[in-house]
Amino acid sequence: MDSASVTSKGQVTIPKHIRQKLGIRAGSQITFRIVGDHAELEVLQSPVDLPESGFGLLSSQRESVPADFDVASLASDQ
């Protein structure tokens, strides 16, 4: 059985192996209920799986820079 300390703000860290087994991660929605002399938690919703890589997540309105662009050409003597 696992145990944890309660912070001054009433927060408790759910042990990692329990979070993994229940699919709890940042953004998960859980509910608590009192049952007799103990509390139970239930996972209501977990966020959609995150992609393995971040490729393609960000987009820009700017025109892309060619791969062979020479940055030194911006510092030319005038």
12 within 8 A of 4, measured Cβ to Cβ: yes
Amino acid (one-letter) located at 72? A
Q: What is the pLDDT of residues 32-78, one digit of tens each?
A: 999 999 999 999 988 776 666 677 777 778 888 788 888 888 886 65
- Among candidates 18, 26, 24, which has minimal Cα distance to 2? 18
Residues 21 and 6: their CA atoms lie apart, in Å, by: 22
Q: Which residues, in sequence order, are CB contacts of 27 under 8 Å at separation 6+?
A: 46, 47
Q: Is the pLDDT of residue 25 over 70?
A: yes
CA angle 23, 4, 42 (to 5 degrees): 35
Task: Give the per-residue pLDDT at 15.
Answer: 93
